[in-house]
């Protein structure tokens, strides 16, 4: 067991989520890991970790998982809304179902899941919510229109939530990565859009490794509770846009 508080990570089966789980575990934090795929989370083989196969949009399943984890490890002190979806396309060619799915995963789920932990955080006068945004929430890119929209939205909602909770001593943080080497592009089909993205990434020497972003998240969280690093933009040095 550990005397450190409970950390909840969505989208914990791969990429930034899995690496953040590794680093928080190494630092001694108990974890609730949530993702649609259970096996990759099990393969992390982390101590003091509750694993739940659930979609981040399934509020009832997420709520049940939080209740189970809190029985073992006490109240949630950090919610990392990391689950995300990126399907790049021109709007005219975009699958309407993917339009809806991107807004559901990237925007709606973080707010619904925050609602599950905010009352307890307000009561305790402490806690942290970190939302994963994107550099695509700060500037526009070709064939990113819907994805840009979801990230601009989560950036705005994160800042709004920060203002709501500041007087209660609860921190809300936006982490906005640039290009990262993850499986997030799995929803972008083969063709010119994907080829252009990968070509640019290669031209700047590759994307961030997930462990780079995880280090930024851990460092930000471990600042004193009375200090909020409101926004962290982390990108490859060679990325010029």
User: Residue 241 falls within a domain, yes or no?
Assistant: no
Query: Is it the case that residue 218 has pLDDT exceeding 70?
Result: yes
Calculate the average pLDDT of the chain: 94
Please indicate whether residue 193 or residue 22 has the higher confidence score (pLDDT): 22
Which CATH number characterizes residue 40's domain?
A: 3.40.50.720
Confidence band for 48, pLDDT divided at 50, 70 and 90: very high
Closest CA to 69 of 115, 27, 7, 119: 7
Q: Provide the 10 A C-beta neighbour count for residue 218.
A: 17
pLDDT of residue 206: 85
Query: Is it the case that residue 62 has pLDDT exceeding 70?
Result: yes
**Rounded mean pLDDT of 137-141?**
94
**Rounded mean pLDDT of 100-124?**
98
**Rounded mean pLDDT of 141-145?**
92
pLDDT of residue 225: 98
**What does the alpha-carbon distance between residue 157 and residue 186 come to, in Å, rounded to a whole number?**
26
Query: Is it the case that residue 197 has pLDDT exceeding 80?
Result: no
Distance of CA 25 to the CA centre of its chain: 17
- The answer to whether residue 147 is catalytic is yes
User: Residue 197 falls within a domain, yes or no?
Assistant: yes
Q: Provide the 10 A C-beta neighbour count for residue 22.
A: 17
**Rounded mean pLDDT of 163-179?**
97
User: Residue 240 falls within a domain, yes or no?
Assistant: no
pLDDT of residue 187: 63
Query: Is it the case that residue 232 has pLDDT exceeding 80?
Result: yes
User: Residue 30 falls within a domain, yes or no?
Assistant: yes
Query: Is it the case that residue 190 has pLDDT exceeding 90?
Result: no
Closest CA to 215 of 27, 29, 6, 33: 27
User: Residue 239 falls within a domain, yes or no?
Assistant: no
Of these residues, 29, 147, 152, 221, which one is catalytic? Answer: 147
The boundaries of the domain holding residue 72 are 6-234
pLDDT of residue 231: 98
User: Residue 185 falls within a domain, yes or no?
Assistant: yes
User: Residue 38 falls within a domain, yes or no?
Assistant: yes
Query: Mean pLDDT lowest for which of 110-114, 122-126, 137-141, 193-197?
Result: 193-197
pLDDT of residue 184: 65
Share of the chain above pLDDT 70, in %: 95
Domain count, the chain: 1
Query: Is it the case that residue 202 has pLDDT exceeding 90?
Result: no
User: Residue 222 falls within a domain, yes or no?
Assistant: yes
- Tell me the residue ranges of DSSP E strands in 64-170: 76-81, 128-132
**Rounded mean pLDDT of 22-46?**
98
């Amino acid at each position: 067991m550990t005397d450190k508080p409970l950390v909840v990570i969505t989208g914990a089966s791969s990429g930034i989520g899995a690496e953040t789980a590794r680093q928080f575990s190494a630092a001694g934090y108990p974890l609730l890991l949530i993702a649609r795929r259970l096996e990759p989370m099990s393969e992390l083989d982390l101590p003091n970790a509750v694993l739940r196969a659930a979609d981040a949009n399934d509020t009832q399943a997420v709520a049940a998982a939080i209740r189970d984890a809190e029985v073992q490890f006490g109240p949630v002190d950090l919610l990392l809304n990391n689950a995300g979806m990126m399907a790049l396309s021109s709007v005219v060619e975009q699958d309407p179902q993917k339009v809806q799915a991107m807004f559901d995963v990237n925007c709606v789920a973080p707010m619904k899941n925050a609602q599950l932990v905010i009352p307890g955080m307000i009561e305790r006068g402490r806690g942290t919510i970190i939302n994963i945004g994107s550099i695509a929430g700060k500037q526009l890119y070709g064939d990113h229109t819907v994805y840009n929209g979801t990230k601009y939205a989560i950036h705005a909602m994160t800042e709004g939530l920060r203002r709501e909770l500041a007087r209660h001593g609860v921190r809300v943080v936006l982490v906005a990565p640039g290009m990262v080497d993850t499986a997030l592009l799995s929803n972008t089909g083969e063709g010119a859009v994907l080829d252009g993205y990968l070509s640019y990434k290669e031209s700047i020497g590759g994307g961030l490794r997930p462990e780079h972003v995880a280090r930024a998240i851990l460092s930000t969280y471990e600042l004193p509770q009375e200090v909020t690093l409101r926004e962290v933009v982390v990108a490859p040095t060679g990325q010029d846009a």
